[in-house]
Amino acid sequence: MAAGLKLIFLSALMQGVNGQDWNVTVPLRIMGVEGSCVVVPCSFTLPVSYTAALNNCSGGAVWRKGGISGTHVNTVNVLGDLRQKNCTTLFSRFTKNQNNFYFFRLECPNSNLKYTFTQGVQITVASDVSKPSLTSVSHMTMGDHVTLRCSALAPCPSLPPSFTWTAPEGNKKESSQVLKSSDGQMMLESTLTFTASAQHLNQTVTCSVSYPLSAGGSTEAFTTSHGLNVLYGPMNTAAHMNASGPVSEGSVVFFSCSSEANPPVSAYTWFSNTNGNMVKVGEGPILPLLVKQAHSGLYECQAQSVRGTQRSKPLLLEVIALNGKTGAFTSIGLWVSIVCGVLTALCIFSVALLFYKYRSLSKRLKQVEQKDENVYSDLQNSTMSSDYDNLQVHQSKVKTPRK
């Protein structure tokens, strides 16, 4: 009994020694597209004593489905060279019914080289493939050369996915390359390169992927989008004035400043030409000015953000003098403006009050009309009866003239 146990132990030990070099490298799992092919990257090692048998092995690659003793799969094509220990295999027209675990087996004819590797690969296909992966760029600066990468599964290199970019206008370049993920899953990556501009702000870049099918046609497009956030300093800064042509002393003129920036403009500053120098005269996007003769000259505004500053083109203000009556005109003009403003406000208030009273009265009348109609009928009948009785009495008192 002891000798039998010893013999079993030695046999198991020898099997471990002989099998210590049997190894296969395949992905743990592969995702594919239903109706397309699936390529399984595969390589293996085996004991040196089987090298000669391997070199004479032709058509000795077999795949089993479901387990190491599962059924043979016929719809496969070994792409790799077994003599180079490359067992990469193509599964054609894979369907959901074939989703399972698959194990590679060496089965060389006229040889003792027959071995099923215990490391299997799980192959799963679906009609709704996951969306492509698009690199995210939190922000970019105007003028930067930006590269966005879109990657998608490529389970069938002979039928690679087709990429379509929807990108902002401008110079751009597209290219593709094959990648391989860490677990052996094949990926295809497409890159889009463009120069960022202010016009790209808040625009969207879209990467769409579709897969050709073995029987013809292709899948629907699977899409991923990414918004663009382009940073830039003030640009297109411009000063504006609410009056055109010369203005009279005592008039009120409003200057306004506009500019584009991301992040937005944080401060506006106004400058006026005084004795040949631009001197600061105010702050804010709007500059109100009660015009005097001394205000004649050039005005410009400066927009400032965290990314820089920009000044507008000069704007000319021409003031017409009023023959020494500037002060009186200014005073009268201001009082007239104030009185007109007050009268306008009173008119608006009066109209609003009348409208409110009209609506209130209409509402009360409707409420009265909707009260008990029987009361109104009774009152009407009573009044009519009373009037009729009085009429009868009055007629009885009148004597008929004799003929």
pLDDT digits (tens, 9 = 90+) for 218-242: 999 999 999 999 999 999 999 999 9
Q: Decide if 367 is inside a domain.
A: no
Q: Decide if 380 is inside a domain.
A: no
Residue 203 tokens read as 């625009």
Shared domain check, 247 and 149: no
Q: Three-state DSSP class for 192? A: strand
Q: Which residue stretches of 20-110 are H helix?
A: 51-55
What is the sign of the dihedral through the CA atoms of 38, 41, 45 and 51? positive
Q: Decide if 113 is inside a domain.
A: yes
Shared domain check, 237 and 221: no
**Average pLDDT rounded to a whole number, residues 333-342:** 49
Please write the tens of the pLDDT for every residue from 359-387. Answer: 555 555 555 455 444 434 443 444 444 44
Question: Count of domains in the chain?
Answer: 3
**Average pLDDT rounded to a whole number, residues 306-333:** 74
Say which residue the tokens 């070994």 belong to. 78
CA dist 172 and 115 (Å) reads 53
Shared domain check, 104 and 56: yes
Shared domain check, 74 and 38: yes
Where in the sequence is the domain holding 187, given as residue range(s)? 133-228
Q: Looking at residue 195, which CATH number applies to its domain?
A: 2.60.40.10
Shared domain check, 122 and 24: yes
Q: Decide if 121 is inside a domain.
A: yes
Q: Which of 203, 228, 253 is the last residue of a domain?
A: 228
Q: What is the dihedral of CA 92, 93, 98, 104, to 10 degrees?
A: 10
At residue 46, φ and ψ (nearest 5 deg) are -150, 165
15-18: long-range contacts, CB 8 A cutoff, minimum separation 24: 18/47
Q: Decide if 72 is inside a domain.
A: yes
**Average pLDDT rounded to a whole number, residues 51-80:** 91
Shared domain check, 138 and 117: no
CA dist 35 and 24 (Å) reads 27
Q: Decide if 169 is inside a domain.
A: yes
Q: Which of 172, 194, 228 is the last residue of a domain?
A: 228
Please write the tens of the pLDDT for every residue from 184-201. Answer: 888 999 999 999 999 999
Q: Decide if 37 is inside a domain.
A: yes
